[in-house]
Structure 1
Amino acid sequence: MSCRNIGFILLFSLAFASVGNGQGRYKLWYTKPAANWNEALPLGNGHLGAMVFGGVAEERLQLNESTIWAGGPNNTVDSLAAKYITQVRTLLKEKKYKEAQQLANQHLGPKGNSGMPYQIAGNLKIAFPGQDEVSDYYRDLDISNATATVSYSSGGVNYKREYFTSFTNNVLMVRLSADKPGKISCRISLESPLKQSLKVSKNQIELSGKGSDHENQHGQVKFSVISRVKNTGGNLSADSTGIRISDADTAVLYLAIGSNFVNYKDLSADGQKRAIASLDAAEKQNFSQLQAMHKGFYKRFFDRVSLQLGDTKSTELPTDARIKNFQNGDDPQLAELYFQFGRYLLISSSQPGSQPANLQGIWNGDLKGAWDSKYTVNINTEMNYWPSEVTQLTELGTPLFQMIKDLSVTGRESATKMYGARGWMLHHNTDIWRITGIVDGAFWGLWPTANAWLCQHLWEHYLFTGNEKFLRDYYPLMRDAARYFTDVLQEEPDHHWLVVSPSVSPEHEYQNTGGEAVSVTAGATMDNQLVFGLFSSVIEAAKVLHTDQAFADTLIKFRSRLPPMQIGRYGQLQEWLEDWDSTTDHHRHVSHLYGLFPANQISPFAQPELFAAAKQSLIYRGDVSTGWSMAWKINLWARLLDGEHAYKLIKDQISPAENNPMKAGGTYPNMFDAHPPFQIDGNFGCTSGISEMLLQSHDGDIYLLPALPAAWGKAGSVSGLMARGGFRINMKWQNQKITQLQVYSTLGGNCRLRVNQKLFSKLVKTAKDENANPFYKVAAVPRALNHTQQSVSTLHLPETWLYDLSTQKGKLYTVIP
């Protein structure tokens, strides 16, 4: 994207934003230091992460770097698995489900390891003698410019600390200052559980470390953490453990981390040289210059989207108090802050050239974090990137796309050796080494469909951006994922449908008798939806690129033999090929609703029976769950056009994690999502859900305000949300009706709008027939098998009007003045 276009976007968005975007609107702030990790504040630039605790007597900045993982290059492919997979398939065909599970449990487990953990780099500690008693304490994270501050008074002196992780220079910066000269005295040290050596000179501390051994894998990631100090006034001195600053006017700390990681199979870099190069370049600029460059870079992303949901007196309270009050209070701006906080976290944990955001983004305070802080690709990794396209952070998907490219290489081994197939595949979990074998055992790990879900992100990127070069580059990955399924789909005996076997409906079971749980199955609904979506996108991509017509024809034939979705005896969308669902099942995974969101296979207008069945399933599952699950449900209720229920779940999500009666879900004081413990996908999922409440573009048109709750409906605005086909939308509304509407077309073409009100603009005309815009083509979904013949006459949909707006590339259209 050119600088000219970026400038236009910013002017476009800022000109439309409501008045009142005042100082502090996007600050998380507190009146005391962090008592634990879930109160510390996150900074990051995609590569380098820090958690700021803000302690008075001692500051702790917990450090991460995106490539510090345990172990080293390896894959987890089991070359002996093929014969057992064949045997499990046979047992499933014979409906010997327990026997299939027993065989899978015995022979289809992890090979060598279940993946390596993402690890803490260490801690930068700054001890301040004589500052135990303070007043006027204040700590914040300003997500409008990605900086943090701490301030307080002690002994008649006002102290201030400023922090940021530079996007432009890849260093952590800290400035210590006071309103009186000679008052900065402190001791600086580095520590790490991965430390191998520590070297200290007058103004530099260097810690060398190495990733740990784990599950038969030798730690091979070597890294260096180097911190330098510059003081104005006063003195510096050093000993073997750290640096002392005495009586300085100000002090500035520069910190860089470098590792030997190049890619998943190459550890030939020199981490020390990398860190020194970053520091040398940064030291050519002073703190203010680096901060200005950092803010400028960050705001290019953050300022693209503005959201205004209203202000109340609640905004005057500290953030932790607002979280406690949100469920029962009146604080629409906190939902707005949570939305933007998700965007902040994605900008800060995923940048071109970095690793993708993992289960904790880039922030992990342990040697072995929860679930190893890996990439769980049966929902969680994908959820991390749900906001990237719609909230105009499209470039930030680059690390995910690179990981998919890596997996398309490592996944050929698992496809060939385990399944005897062409193409590539992986199971439900991977790590920095791009493993593709079974992780955590057959009960959860025997899920071979992650390639289809990951490829959806490639196709969605094309649908939002129209970038044909990108599609041409990544089409081979999509094609080879589809080719894998043409080789492995099995004919089931009752209807002769083609199904994925063996597999699971992620992390769920359909039988549990006598304490013996069964998860392994054939033809799980989610698998059917994923393969249908993958085949459909590859068919369309081949058409766009004028290639592989014969293969596309083959996929059309295979797609026609996939199982249709089924409506079970309770009026629910079946999760499995058989009607095994239970009305008392409140499992956190709602995998069979993938077709509703994030896919586009269940439409209120084209498939009302499926739409009603999906709603019934979601009602049975209930609301209370783990944090990421509630976030998924926000998106699902938005797709069900029920803004009140989606908002109810937002209130459940933004409630104190420690007070949740189910001991699950909620939000920590630092606004991190609680699984528990912390998982970042809930933050990203909620941001996506709020977007879906305001704009949807998956069902052949752009639906404006499809699920706006009454709490936000009195007055509000949003600018900069993206719709498929490259349309950028700005809206204002009052009393649930749009009062201003602008559409900027980046690609041109027909813009079909669905609204809950009549439009009288001369620019639009009443829509007829199918949308001619190719980015809005929706694959024809087979009619569901309804085993209840349940009527959908009770399904009440809002009245809407469809209009077409003819657009040209690069032009702005004001539809409603």
Structure 2
Amino acid sequence: MITRTAPAARWLEALPLGNGRIGAMAWGDPAAARFGLNESTLWSGTPGVDAGRRTGADVAAAARAESRRLWAAGDVPGAEQALGALGASWGQAYQPVGDLHVEVPGAVPGPRELDLDARLHRVRTAGGDHLSAVSAADEVLLHAVPLAAGDVLRVRLESPQHEEHRSEREDGLDVILRVPSDAPPGHAPGAPGLAWGEDASRAAVAVRWRREGERALLVCAIATSWRGLGERPDRPPTEVLAEAAATAEAALARGEEELLARHASTPGEDAFALRLPGAALLEEVVAYGRYLLHACSRPGLPPANLQGLWNAEVRAPWSSNYTTNINLEMNHWAAGTAHVPAAAAALEEYTALLRRTGRDTARRLYGAGGWTVHHNSDPWGYSDPVDGETRWAIWPMGGLWLELQLEDLARFTGLPAAEVAAQRMPALREAAAFALDLLHPTDGDRLVTVPSTSPENQWRTPEGTAVALTEGSGMDRWLVRGVLSSLLAAAEVTGAAEDDLLARARAALPRVDGPRIGPDGRLQEWHADLEEPEPHHRHVSHLAPVYPGTEALAPGIEEAATASLLARGDEATGWSLAWKACLWARLHRPDKVEDLLTLFVRPAETADGERSGLYPNLFSAHPPFQMDANFGIVAAVAECLLQSHRGEIELLPAVPPLLASGSVRGLRARPGVAVDLDWAGGEPTRLVLRALGAGAAGEHRVRWGGRTLPVDLPADGAPVAPDLVGR
């Protein structure tokens, strides 16, 4: 439950509602209610809007060859500049619908709350409760309020989009909006302004209201010209408006009581509850993060973007789209451990789109098989590098990371290993095909990725120039080895016949280095031990083998990762704090986890400006606002309470004093085990395990501290509560 004593005075004080498609930021003034509206499928541009700007195969081949020549000659800045020819365009931007205003004469502000379990916003007033929800059952924002006799609602819609149609009457409002046909990001070098051509998405907003005795009910439906991921959004505006109007009228006819009952009874995620008696704010933040992920992701629609579902700006920071070098993956780290399968399904469907569009990019830019996506994308399937600096633009490994993310999420389903492997094999084959074609020989028998960068970071040449280009960065090595290993493991489980691709993967894997320890005792990020212009850089990509990686680590790697994290320091952007907390949890350092959690929950706004932390509505600050950290911190706390990547179920592996006692219901362990856990003083006091499917049935080793306990789980999903106290 998120509670506030007064209405919001600005967007970052409003509280979010969502059903995976429609988002609404509730400001909470009962006399002048305001809802910032979003719809997950409303984006600028269309598929192929960038086609005329894409780099051709001949230009790309020449750029790669020139880059290799300059690299071999020792001219790293020149080699990097040559690769800039690969990126010539940009992804599109997530768009706001506008603001819906509902005025209720005479209403006096009172305390407000966001009930996370009921998915309901409530303002308590002397005249009665003002209730708001975004219903998945009826696909509307509903707003029900007390209304004195003789009074009427006053309703208006304001939007930054181009208005093509508006009709108003006493009890209804219809609006058709057109969004930009092309929206270059504000940070793009020399980016042109917004384009407002006719070839663009439309949104129709239909608002209906009526009196019901001493109360009034308002519903708002939103429809768009969306036809699906990667499809041209060309539904006729009249059809879109007719759909929105029919949805609103059907919902209004049900009345307040039935709408609320249908909203409450809509199947949601399985129960999840965390209780932390010594850390009330952190308990709230974790529940909030899981609520947000559930509220902004569902199958058939774009997954949670950089701002989840909620965005007020036509040109939002970083276009509020998908950054695949950390943010999209972090959005879904908790989908397994905290069990949000709808989000995992949405990510799978989105990745399927990128596989389709990324095949052309792989062939055209790298002469490679399989598929690729770079650091930035959108629901139209943009997969080229963007026009920008090499340190973030030229990173062709997004496809490999997404496949490893999906590979891990599949381990939480409880499905038999052979079934999971059979499902994942085709995708793993494509990812491996691209990885193999990106590998080049170096230092005798070793293979490295070319081109390669370590996301958004740089190193300094002996001449003092900051550059990003490398060969076989630490993160690349983890990704390539992870994909090749997963493919070969799946082939073994399924009994797949040996073919050329499997043979190439088998031959290449031992020639790709795993994590390397540099002369200074830290994990090596680059091709060599190099000077860092920014030692405290926010990205810790070279530590990914520790987290989110799940493979066994060679001796000394954890110690080197510890040295790397200590050198990086604690202060960072919001999402980086969450990643570091996950890493420290994997390294069994509760003291450092506590340091990061303390930074995470501090106020983001200070007298000196903004920093990482939380805004008044608990959205996380990069700064500015980004939703990835709200999701990432759920994964971090889950990792403190339960780890299962080592082939066993480990309880309380990194519990700091802040989390010394508590209880959790609904955690998930690999390979699909539901876990309920109580603990006190850092020791487990009650444990209930349940297999979620045949693949999770059988004997599991449960470990905590220096103790282990075998637990046999039946295939029928019956709960098992082993005796912990007597052990």
Task: Say if 1:655 and 1:666, in contact at 8 Å, map to a contact too.
Answer: yes
Q: Does 1:71 align with 2:71?
A: no
Residue number among 28, 45, 55 corresponding to 1:54 in the alignment:
28
- SS of equivalent residue, structure 1 residue 283: helix
Q: Could you say if the C-alpha distance between residues 596 and 440 of structure 1 is closer, same or farther in structure 2, counting changes exceeding 3 Å? A: farther
Task: Say if 1:584 and 1:621, in contact at 8 Å, map to a contact too.
Answer: no
Which residue in 2 is equivalent to 1:781? none
Residue number among 671, 680, 684 corresponding to 1:725 in the alignment:
671
What CA deviation, in whole Å up to 9, does each residue of 1:371-408 have, x standing for no partner? 00010000000000111111121232111111110111
- SS of equivalent residue, structure 1 residue 744: strand
Q: What letter matches 1:717 in structure 2?
A: S
Per-residue deviation, 1:602: 5.6
Residue number among 70, 87, 90 corresponding to 1:109 in the alignment:
87
Write the distance in 1 (CA, Å) between the matches of 2:700 and 2:68. 46
Write the distance in 2 (CA, Å) between the matches of 1:44 and 1:347. 8
Which residue in 1 is equivalent to 2:436? 486
Q: Does 1:254 align with 2:234?
A: no
Write the distance in 1 (CA, Å) between the matches of 2:484 and 2:586. 23
Show the 5 A alignment for 1:607-756.
607-659=554-606, 663-713=610-660, 715-746=661-692, 747=694, 748-756=696-704
Q: What letter matches 2:688 in structure 1?
A: Q
Task: Say if 2:460 and 2:533, in contact at 8 Å, map to a contact too.
Answer: no
Task: Say if 2:133 and 2:143, in contact at 8 Å, map to a contact too.
Answer: yes
Residue number among 337, 340, 348 corresponding to 1:393 in the alignment:
340
Per-residue deviation, 1:699: 1.5
Which residue in 2 is equivalent to 1:771? none
Q: Does 1:814 align with 2:721?
A: yes
Residue number among 516, 523, 528 corresponding to 2:477 in the alignment:
528
Q: List alignment gaps of at least 5 residues for structure 2.
A: 185-191
Show the 5 A alignment for 1:414-429.
414-429=361-376
Q: Could you say if the C-alpha distance between residues 393 and 573 of structure 1 is closer, same or farther in structure 2, counting changes exceeding 3 Å? A: same
Task: Say if 2:43 and 2:93, in contact at 8 Å, map to a contact too.
Answer: yes
Per-residue deviation, 1:750: 4.3
Per-residue deviation, 1:88: 1.5
Per-residue deviation, 1:40: 0.5
Q: Could you say if the C-alpha distance between residues 213 and 377 of structure 1 is closer, same or farther in structure 2, counting changes exceeding 3 Å? A: same
Residue number among 278, 289, 311 corresponding to 2:258 in the alignment:
289
Q: Could you say if the C-alpha distance between residues 143 and 660 of structure 1 is closer, same or farther in structure 2, counting changes exceeding 3 Å? A: farther
Question: What is the Cα-based RMSD across aligned positions, in Å?
Answer: 2.1
Per-residue deviation, 1:710: 2.0
Q: What letter matches 1:559 in structure 2?
A: L
Task: Say if 2:650 and 2:702, in contact at 8 Å, map to a contact too.
Answer: yes
Show the 5 A alignment for 1:30-49.
30-49=4-23
Write the distance in 2 (CA, Å) between the matches of 1:615 and 1:184. 65
Q: What letter matches 1:411 in structure 2?
A: G
- SS of equivalent residue, structure 1 residue 46: coil
Which residue in 2 is equivalent to 1:210? 178
Task: Say if 2:689 and 2:713, in contact at 8 Å, map to a contact too.
Answer: no
Residue number among 218, 229, 233 corresponding to 1:267 in the alignment:
233
Which residue in 2 is equivalent to 1:126? 102
Per-residue deviation, 1:176: 1.1
Task: Say if 2:206 and 2:221, in contact at 8 Å, map to a contact too.
Answer: yes
Task: Say if 1:458 and 1:471, in contact at 8 Å, map to a contact too.
Answer: no
Write the distance in 2 (CA, Å) between the matches of 1:446 and 1:428. 8
Per-residue deviation, 1:469: 5.5
Per-residue deviation, 1:121: 0.5
Residue number among 291, 295, 304 corresponding to 2:271 in the alignment:
304
Write the distance in 1 (CA, Å) between the matches of 2:316 and 2:655. 37
- SS of equivalent residue, structure 1 residue 119: strand
What CA deviation, in whole Å up to 9, does each residue of 1:553-585 have, x standing for no partner? 431211111023211122111111200154970
Task: Say if 2:460 and 2:532, in contact at 8 Å, map to a contact too.
Answer: no
Task: Say if 1:391 and 1:721, in contact at 8 Å, map to a contact too.
Answer: yes
- SS of equivalent residue, structure 2 residue 174: strand
Per-residue deviation, 1:212: 0.8
Which residue in 2 is equivalent to 1:561? 511
Write the distance in 2 (CA, Å) between the matches of 1:212 and 1:510. 38
- SS of equivalent residue, structure 2 residue 157: strand
Write the distance in 2 (CA, Å) between the matches of 1:672 and 1:55. 20
Task: Say if 2:551 and 2:645, in contact at 8 Å, map to a contact too.
Answer: no
Q: Could you say if the C-alpha distance between residues 584 and 284 of structure 1 is closer, same or farther in structure 2, counting changes exceeding 3 Å? A: closer
Equivalent residue pairs, number: 695
Write the distance in 2 (CA, Å) between the matches of 1:595 and 1:94. 32
Write the distance in 2 (CA, Å) between the matches of 1:98 and 1:695. 45
Per-residue deviation, 1:363: 0.2
Q: Could you say if the C-alpha distance between residues 41 and 480 of structure 1 is closer, same or farther in structure 2, counting changes exceeding 3 Å? A: same
Q: Does 1:220 align with 2:200?
A: yes
Q: Could you say if the C-alpha distance between residues 440 and 689 of structure 1 is closer, same or farther in structure 2, counting changes exceeding 3 Å? A: farther
- SS of equivalent residue, structure 1 residue 286: helix
Which residue in 2 is equivalent to 1:804? 710
- SS of equivalent residue, structure 2 residue 556: helix
Which residue in 2 is equivalent to 1:776? none
Q: Could you say if the C-alpha distance between residues 815 and 93 of structure 1 is closer, same or farther in structure 2, counting changes exceeding 3 Å? A: farther
Write the distance in 1 (CA, Å) between the matches of 2:573 and 2:595. 15
Per-residue deviation, 1:129: 4.5
Task: Say if 1:464 and 1:726, in contact at 8 Å, map to a contact too.
Answer: yes
Q: List alignment gaps of at least 5 residues for structure 1.
A: 1-26, 234-248, 311-330, 758-799
Which residue in 1 is equivalent to 2:413? 465
Q: What letter matches 2:285 in structure 1?
A: Y
Aligned residues with identical type, % of pairs: 35
Write the distance in 1 (CA, Å) between the matches of 2:613 and 2:422. 41
Task: Say if 2:535 and 2:567, in contact at 8 Å, map to a contact too.
Answer: yes
What CA deviation, in whole Å up to 9, does each residue of 1:399-447 have, x standing for no partner? 1111110111100110111111111111111011111101142331100
Write the distance in 2 (CA, Å) between the matches of 1:543 and 1:208. 55
What CA deviation, in whole Å up to 9, does each residue of 1:316-360 have, x standing for no partner? xxxxxxxxxxxxxxx512211111111100110001222100000
Write the distance in 2 (CA, Å) between the matches of 1:343 and 1:727. 19
Q: Could you say if the C-alpha distance between residues 208 and 514 of structure 1 is closer, same or farther in structure 2, counting changes exceeding 3 Å? A: farther
Write the distance in 2 (CA, Å) between the matches of 1:594 and 1:661. 33
Task: Say if 1:204 and 1:227, in contact at 8 Å, map to a contact too.
Answer: yes
Task: Say if 2:181 and 2:201, in contact at 8 Å, map to a contact too.
Answer: no
Show the 5 A alignment for 1:573-584.
573-580=523-530, 582=532
Write the distance in 2 (CA, Å) between the matches of 1:650 and 1:707. 13
Q: Does 1:589 align with 2:539?
A: yes
Q: Could you say if the C-alpha distance between residues 813 and 510 of structure 1 is closer, same or farther in structure 2, counting changes exceeding 3 Å? A: same
Q: What letter matches 2:572 in structure 1?
A: S
State which drifts further: 376-385 or 417-426.
Answer: 417-426
Residue number among 155, 160, 170 corresponding to 1:188 in the alignment:
155
What CA deviation, in whole Å up to 9, does each residue of 1:750-783 have, x standing for no partner? 44335335xxxxxxxxxxxxxxxxxxxxxxxxxx
Which residue in 1 is equivalent to 2:124? 151
Q: What letter matches 1:807 in structure 2?
A: L
Which residue in 1 is equivalent to 2:289? 342
Task: Say if 1:184 and 1:251, in contact at 8 Å, map to a contact too.
Answer: no
Which residue in 1 is equivalent to 2:211? 231
Q: What letter matches 2:55 in structure 1?
A: D
Which residue in 1 is equivalent to 2:76? 97
What CA deviation, in whole Å up to 9, does each residue of 1:164-209 have, x standing for no partner? 000111110000115xx42744310112121222111332101101
Write the distance in 1 (CA, Å) between the matches of 2:653 and 2:150. 57
Per-residue deviation, 1:273: 3.1
Q: What letter matches 2:224 in structure 1?
A: S
Which residue in 2 is equivalent to 1:197? 165
Write the distance in 1 (CA, Å) between the matches of 2:282 and 2:86. 44
Write the distance in 2 (CA, Å) between the matches of 1:658 and 1:486. 47
State which drifts further: 364-373 or 93-102.
Answer: 93-102
Task: Say if 2:11 and 2:27, in contact at 8 Å, map to a contact too.
Answer: yes
Write the distance in 2 (CA, Å) between the matches of 1:93 and 1:723. 47
- SS of equivalent residue, structure 2 residue 620: coil
